[in-house]
């Protein structure tokens, strides 16, 4: 935690002792392990040089220290604080914090704990900038050394893309049908866990990089050679595919002209913003249910009927991710130019379709309703309203 305080000290002769006492008592209440920064107008000059006060200040101050201003240095000793301004050798222009009537002094200081002094990187005055009359801005740069927090364990991704291959897809379908009880007694959590576990067994999990890490740990020459061979084959296949795709694209450009250029540009822009690149919410894509065929459809039908009768759906379906999508107009840094898209579980989307169909059968929508309905565009309604308005004006005249 970083605590930042600002203070203003009275001028010399105006009960400064009470101010020092209150400030010291406040600092004593803050645990020593917490980072503390005090920025204050101390109305005093600690001057350059640090003879006898090396623990709390550097030798790059400005001006001459008065006897009355020794209280600032004593306070720093008492609070185990250091005056950051004095540890960096700057030009006079970057030391002067107060200018008035031709006088230039340094009375604004930034203090930090001595134990955290190594985390300070810089401290200087910004000439020409001011936050109050006659006072210049003092900035200090720090690099906090935070302790390493507990690392989160990220579950390896399941290689769902292998569903597109015939042999792994068949093994997955047969494995799920053998393990799952498709009756009404089986809960959604049990079925979902079986789907994930079977997918890990059949498709595997992780990435090619994790495979390389395992080979590197084992120091097995044969495993490393297999990895290198597979990597070279993958590179050759990717290069061939890119070459064929490029040749096909160039042929289209030669024959269809500029139109294909705009089509390709729009397509690549859509792919860059495709929300499908985001990880599935429940880590079970819709392709997994499609591969199960009629068995998956029958189970989902029974599950939906059970949810409708019990009036309670799985908690996992309630989880969603909100993704902002740019509207392609206005300033990209303005949050108002983004539209929120909620990514939900595929099963939740199917369930919403079921509820929507049932509601439509129970409700009647007026023929005068426009908008948010197929074939009921607001364009026709606005056109009719304009025509009526114009005719009314003609009749009135």
25-51 pLDDT, tens digit each: 888 888 888 889 999 888 888 888 888
Instruction: Name the domain boundary from 142, 172, 200.
Output: 142
The answer on 321 and 270 residing in a single domain is yes
The answer on 190 and 284 residing in a single domain is yes
The more confident residue out of 328 and 271 is 328
What is the rounded CA–CA span in Å between residue 192 and residue 158? 14
Of 113, 80, 83, nearest in space to 95 by CA: 83
| 263-283: b (≥16 Cβ within 10 Å) or e | eeeeeeeeeeeeeeeeebbbb
What is the rounded CA–CA span in Å between residue 16 and residue 238? 76
For helices 166-179 and 188-203, angle between their N-to-C axes, nearest 10 degrees? 140
What is the rounded CA–CA span in Å between residue 189 and residue 156? 20
- The CATH number linked to 45 is 3.60.10.10
Q: What is the mean pLDDT of the chain?
A: 80
214 backbone dihedrals φ, ψ, rounded to 5°: -65, -40
Q: CB neighbours (10 Å) of residue 378?
A: 11
Give me the percent of the chain exceeding a pLDDT of 90.
4
The answer on 137 and 165 residing in a single domain is no
3-class DSSP assignment, residue 334:
coil
Domain region containing 135:
2-142
In a domain, 152, yes or no: no
The answer on 136 and 67 residing in a single domain is yes
Of 171, 161, 159, 107, nearest in space to 136 by CA: 107
Residue listed under structure tokens 């189970």: 299
In a domain, 120, yes or no: yes
In a domain, 311, yes or no: yes
Asked if residues 343 and 320 have their Cβ atoms less than 8 Å apart, the reply is yes
The answer on 281 and 338 residing in a single domain is yes
The answer on 238 and 349 residing in a single domain is yes
The answer on 76 and 170 residing in a single domain is no
In a domain, 63, yes or no: yes
Instruction: Name the domain boundary from 142, 175, 193.
Output: 142
Q: Report whether pLDDT(210) > 60.
A: no
In a domain, 225, yes or no: yes
Q: Report whether pLDDT(208) > 60.
A: no
Please list the residues that pair with 322 across neighbouring strands: 342
Quote the longest CA-to-CA distance of the chain.
Answer: 98
pLDDT of 239 reads 87
Residue range 311-325: average pLDDT? 82
Ranges 59-63, 218-222, 320-324: which has the least confidence: 218-222
DSSP state of 116: G
The answer on 137 and 193 residing in a single domain is no
Q: How far is CA 233 from CA 142, 221, 238, 259, in A?
A: 49, 18, 9, 36
Give me the percent of the chain exceeding a pLDDT of 70.
83
pLDDT band at 356 (very low <50, low <70, confident <90, very high): confident
pLDDT of 111 reads 92
In a domain, 123, yes or no: yes
In a domain, 150, yes or no: no
The answer on 382 and 291 residing in a single domain is no
Of 80, 97, 7, nearest in space to 46 by CA: 97
The more confident residue out of 96 and 180 is 96
What pLDDT digit, counting tens, does each position of 197-207 carry? 898 888 887 65
- Number of structural domains found in the chain: 3
The answer on 312 and 379 residing in a single domain is no
pLDDT of 194 reads 87
In a domain, 25, yes or no: yes
The answer on 173 and 129 residing in a single domain is no
Q: Report whether pLDDT(278) > 70.
A: no
What stretches of the chain adopt beta strand conformation (E)?
2-8, 35-41, 81-83, 98-100, 103-105, 108-113, 120-132, 135-142, 321-326, 338-343
The answer on 186 and 101 residing in a single domain is no
Residue range 312-325: average pLDDT? 82
Q: Show the tokens assigned to 271.
A: 């792919």
Q: Report whether pLDDT(272) > 60.
A: no
């Amino acid at each position: 935690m970083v605590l930042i305080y600002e203070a203003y000290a009275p001028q010399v002769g105006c009960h400064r002792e009470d101010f020092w006492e209150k400030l010291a008592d406040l600092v004593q209440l803050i645990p020593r392990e917490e980072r503390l920064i005090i920025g204050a107008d101390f109305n005093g000059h600690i001057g350059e040089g640090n003879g006898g006060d090396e623990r709390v200040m550097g030798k790059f101050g400005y001006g001459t220290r008065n006897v009355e201003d020794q209280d600032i240095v004593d306070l720093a000793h008492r609070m185990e604080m250091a005056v950051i301004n004095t540890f960096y050798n700057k030009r006079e222009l970057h030391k002067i914090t107060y200018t008035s009537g031709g006088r230039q002094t340094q009375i604004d200081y930034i203090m930090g704990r001595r134990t955290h002094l190594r985390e300070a990187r810089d401290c200087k005055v910004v000439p020409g900038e001011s936050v109050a009359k006659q006072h210049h801005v003092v900035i200090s740069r720090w690099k906090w050394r935070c302790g390493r927090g507990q690392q989160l364990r990220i579950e390896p991704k399941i290689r769902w893309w292998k569903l597109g291959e015939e042999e792994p897809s068949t093994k997955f379908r047969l494995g799920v049908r053998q393990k799952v009880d498709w009756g009404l007694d089986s809960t959604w959590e049990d079925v979902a866990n079986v789907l994930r576990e079977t997918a890990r067994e059949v498709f595997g999990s992780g990435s090619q990089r994790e495979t390389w890490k395992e080979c590197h740990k084992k120091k097995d020459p044969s495993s490393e050679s297999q990895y290198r061979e597979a990597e070279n084959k993958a590179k050759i296949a990717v290069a061939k595919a890119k070459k064929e795709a490029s040749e096909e694209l160039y042929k289209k450009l030669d024959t269809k002209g500029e139109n294909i250029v705009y089509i390709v540009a729009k397509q690549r822009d859509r792919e860059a913003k495709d929300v499908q690149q985001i990880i599935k919410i429940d880590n079970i894509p819709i392709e997994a249910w499609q591969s199960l065929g009629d068995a998956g459809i029958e189970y989902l039908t029974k599950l939906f009927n059970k949810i409708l009768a019990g009036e309670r759906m799985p908690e996992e379906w309630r989880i969603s991710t909100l993704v902002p999508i740019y509207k392609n107009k206005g300033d990209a840094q303005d949050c108002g130019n983004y539209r929120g898209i909620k990514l939900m579980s595929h099963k939740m989307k199917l369930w919403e379709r079921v509820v929507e169909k049932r509601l439509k059968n129970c409700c009647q929508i007026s023929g005068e309703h426009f908008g948010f309905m197929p074939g009921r565009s607001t364009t026709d309604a606005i056109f009719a309203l304009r025509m009526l308005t114009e005719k009314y004006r003609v009749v009135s005249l």
